């Protein structure tokens, strides 16, 4: 059930990433959208990788799930903040993009931990 939810989130992130890439390519000063697109696309793929590694029992289950949801939440915060700044001229909330970036960094560290922690 969790895997299907994560795969679904990954698909939405991928679609949003492509849409933002297109908007960036056709807009004026849209460098924020390019950054938002990249974070969504990279982390959509990372979620799929974590799900696959979990299915093969190569990651600690609980930690891997936390990492995958962290990728989704962090990328959503980061991309959402940059996109809102581009189109609405204000942020999602103060420090939303750096918070999202920090969550993504912590999620990558969680993947590392999930790879080295033994399963019981």
pTM: 0.94
**pLDDT tens digits, residue range 5-45?**
999 999 999 999 999 999 999 877 788 999 999 999 999 99
pLDDT above 70 covers a percentage of the chain that reads 98
Which one, of 17, 18, 26, 14, lies nearest residue 79 by Cα?
17
Joined together, the tokens standing for residue 25 give 């390519």
pLDDT for the residue numbered 120: 57
Residue with the larger pLDDT of the pair 81 and 30: 81
Q: Which residue has the tokens 């033994």?
A: 118
pLDDT of residue 73 exceeding 80, the answer is yes
């Amino acid at each position: 059930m969790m895997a299907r939810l994560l795969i679904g989130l990954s698909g939405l992130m991928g679609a949003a990433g492509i849409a933002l890439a297109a908007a960036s390519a056709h807009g004026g000063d849209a460098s924020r959208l390019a950054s938002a697109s990249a974070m969504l696309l990279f982390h959509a793929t990372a979620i799929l990788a974590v799900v696959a590694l979990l299915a093969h029992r190569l990651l600690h289950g609980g930690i891997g799930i936390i990492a995958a949801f962290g990728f989704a939440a962090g990328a959503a915060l980061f991309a959402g903040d940059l996109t809102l700044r581009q189109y609405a001229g204000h942020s999602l909330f103060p420090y939303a993009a750096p918070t999202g970036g920090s969550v993504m960094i912590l999620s990558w560290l969680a993947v590392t931990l999930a790879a080295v922690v033994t399963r019981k």
